[in-house]
Homo-oligomer: A and B are copies of this chain.
């Protein structure tokens, strides 16, 4: 049995007829090498935005079932065009919608979750030496209404098909050639990371690296799908995301990330009674505002200060809410600091290497960078610093942990 690959091409990779031809070139090569292939596509770059603009011309709050009907039209265009191109070259290819390849979801329109994947039709196509060209990002609910999977949905389609078909590898072709040790715009010495464990990739994703969404990584981890992120424009290796293995222990730290989408709220003079924090954060969570780090000061005269961070683009609703709660609980005032940023280290090696945190703090301190908040997990350490020091902090940590000479990169 020849190996089976899933290829996923994003909107930039199918953004024009020329680009679609380049994708066809690549597919032709893979098929000529004797591999089996299933291709998942996004809509043409810009098309989803065009459709959203039309919807928002209609109403500021379009119906979500109808949004899915609207947005799911974009992938039908790219899959049909690529299948035409392949057939014009004499290759056997057929386009399939999400429904046709059996992507069943719940009914949470615009952010549906995959409930089942029944790939009978894809398997039949493969058995007939056909290349299935599949519309990403979409599925159908129980009523057979089209649903969409939300951000990164096409990646999720690819990973789900890879899991269901037990594919040998799922390759996500995008406009970058992988995950980097840090942002190359900040640290020119940044290097592509050849291999990452699912846990590391999840941390990178949650820290804002946009290469692969956390949902797709979780799905891949759950079903043990090896996912490679690769450039569709440059030949060469990408970043392979897979089960942690022995090789990965070499590096203590895999990468450094920086995130400016951070703001700090401080509730000053909170009566230090049991249940106060639960009340505060309960109400914040109820408003669907994501709280990241929390610090509670040591109590003085039965009063304490509670600081926490929220995404900066949610600061306004968070502040309105917290000011109301602060009154309720007789706190003195609410302070805001939007000029902060988060710098983080990620690496499975931290599990077995002690002293990473203290090296991080020392390196920051060496550059007179004050650490305002700290949070740690098994494979990640994050520090909140003043925003103006973010780039300096990223460079300092990248150098401290020797990431510019990453092994086998």
Show the binding face of A for B, using Cβ within 8 Å.
17, 20, 51, 54-55, 57-59, 61-63, 65-67, 69-70, 72-74, 76-77, 79-81, 83-85, 87-88, 94-95, 97, 99-100, 144-145
Contacts and interface: CB of A to CB of B under 8 A. Distances in A.
A88 to B, nearest CB: 4
A87 B97 CA distance: 27
Give the oligomeric copy count: 2
A148 to B, nearest CB: 12
Contact of A84 (B63, B77, B88, B145): B63
Given A54-B17, A100-B144, A87 B63 contact: yes
Given A20-B58, A73-B76, A73-B77, 19 more contacts: A51-B77, A55-B80, A55-B81, A55-B84, A58-B84, A59-B85, A59-B88, A63-B84, A66-B83, A66-B84, A66-B94, A69-B79, A70-B76, A70-B77, A70-B84, A73-B73, A73-B74, A76-B76, A100-B144
A73 B63 CA distance: 19
A55 B67 CA distance: 25
A341 B222 CA distance: 72
Contacts of A54: 17, 77, 81
Nearest to A54: B81
A147 B20 CA distance: 24
A69 B83 contact: yes
B61 A88 contact: yes
Main secondary structure of the interface of A (DSSP, over half): helix
Contacts of A74: 73
Contacts of A69: 76, 79-80, 83, 95, 97
A215 B406 CA distance: 69
Contact of A59 (B57, B72, B84, B94): B84
Nearest to A100: B144
Contacts of A76: 69-70, 72-73, 76
A62 B88 contact: yes
Nearest 8 interchain pairs by C-beta = A70-B80, A59-B88, A69-B80, A73-B73, A73-B76, A66-B80, A63-B87, A62-B84
A26 to B, nearest CB: 16
B73 A58 contact: no
